[in-house]
Chains A and B, each alone.
Chain A
Amino acid sequence: MKAKFLSYEEPLIFEISEEGKCAINLPDFDVPEEDIGKDLKRDDIPDFPEVSETEIVRHFTRLSQLNYCVDKGFYPLGSCTMKYNPKINEKIANLEGFTEIHPLYPEKFVQGSLEIIYTLEKLLCEITGMDSFTTAPLAGAHGELTGMLIIRAYHMSKGEGRKKVLIPDSAHGTNPSSAHLSGWIVEEIPSNQYGTVDIEKLKERVDETVSALMLTNPNTLGIFERDIKQIAEILHSKGALLYMDGANLNALIGIAKVGDMGVDVVHTNLHKTFSTPHGGGGPGSGPVGVKKFLEPFLPVPRVEKKDGKYFLNWEKPNSIGRIGGFYGNFLVLVKALAYIISLGYEGLRETAKRAVLNANYIRKKLEALYHVPYKSPTLHEFVCSDKNFQQFNVTTLDVAKRLIDYGLHPPTIYFPLIVHGALMIEPTETEGKRDLDLFVSAMEEIYREAKENPEVLKNAPHITPVGRLDEVLAAKKLVLRWKRK
């Protein structure tokens, strides 16, 4: 085994497995040992590992050390809001009173859990200015699907078989995908030279066949869609609705309420704005807020309160139905509620301010070397193109990979699609000036390297446990599980 800076080349667990080992002693049989019979019983579990507890702990500890994470440093993934995840929220979510509760216990035994859901839904209403929230959606895209199904059910209830959903070309890929999954045809709306929705084009396209527009605000360029109210009016005049993707809500909390902007449905990501950890790809949570007239369509069950007692209400004849197994990613809800309560109004407002300040500071510092194609003011994030790097024959991917050598996580790259070679930078509020300056100087240095020594970028990263990986090979020659040689 080779080790470099105490980071190990860790084999797959299957490669260190030896027959007869076990990492836990299970209780003995205190009832007669029963045999289910050979027709039903499996003979063996092929290639299942057998290791000791020491080996398990070292295996996962070493694997963990191959990861970069927010706890380690700056993570400016645009539109992902990789803010610091407060530890007290973890401690709270680990309380036995939350973890040891079966979802099908009678309501009288789970008043605490129901209170959490009820309170969080109410607070999200206050923060966004919507009338009603459901915390059942299990991630952002699941929230989008829920929201679009609500809009579908609304139009159906009016006997209208509208066909289309309009989506700006700057939107995240989940938007068209969620719209499609809800049964709509998707049509793209171009952005104008300011990076916002082209109102004239929108007017031409909105008619009685349009069910909704899915708008991200601030959009994926970090630009606030100033005309949002007018957009809502254009849609409403033809009976269509405005869906807002609230992935970027971190720029607005405590500053403005989307409910005041003509938005009919919004989803928010608790694993972005409300600080719950992303876990390397989930669990997330994507609560959906609606205006009063859409409340009957929210998924069941609803958590309601009567005579001081919380209960689950299933009697919602117009509901879109159930969208998942139980009541959402409950422990994620606990963490988000703890976050909101710990900060309060001033804290949340300050959060948005600092997030926007940090992004604008970086933008200001980098603009000379990194081309920012849309000049409009930006909020919590901004997007550069690869324009200034083309002359050196260096790509956005090269820049991103080189950043790793500076000990930093790269920004989101090649998104949004409307910016060539996009680098989408979102620092969040939980980074200090010192970290921002480190990032800025790394980016400046990389520009200089691109000019003088582009090879060092092309071969980056140099300091990681593995070098740049062959993704084409991975997709061509599929190896998706370990197999005994």
Chain B
Amino acid sequence: MLRTHRGPQSKPTAKTGSYVLFSVGGRRLAVHVGEVGGVGPWPRTMRVPSQTPHVYAVARQDKQLIPVFDLAERLGVQIQGSAPLCLIIRQPDGLMAICVDEDVPSLTTIELSAIRPSQSSDCAVVGSFHQGDEEVPIYALDKLGLETGSEQRR
């Protein structure tokens, strides 16, 4: 469930990277394609009483129950659309589900030289690039939640 298009600055000979573009609360975000495990309809979820910030549920994926990271809450926005999608991300700790807007994520290839170093105070943002008039932050999703206290990790 990914649309593909080539970024305007792509050149076959340049060093490029592939990123998945998606929206959360109307904000466009990008993650490296290697971090994405899949995209699908938002599945049924079950609340999990939790003290871990932004991790309050698990989603049923076939016979698996994978934790849900509430990225919208972290960004202070609300998911848009009546049919949100599920972005499965790969983390060192395992798969994690993120609820994203109903806009179908797209795959884009951009030159690495077009990526600007992060100016964001958000430790999960590792850079950004321009697409149209928009500055799209690149998130390292494996860093989500780490700022909340890695000392609690077991």
The reply to whether chain A is a binding partner of chain B is no
Binding site for B on A (CB under 8 A): none
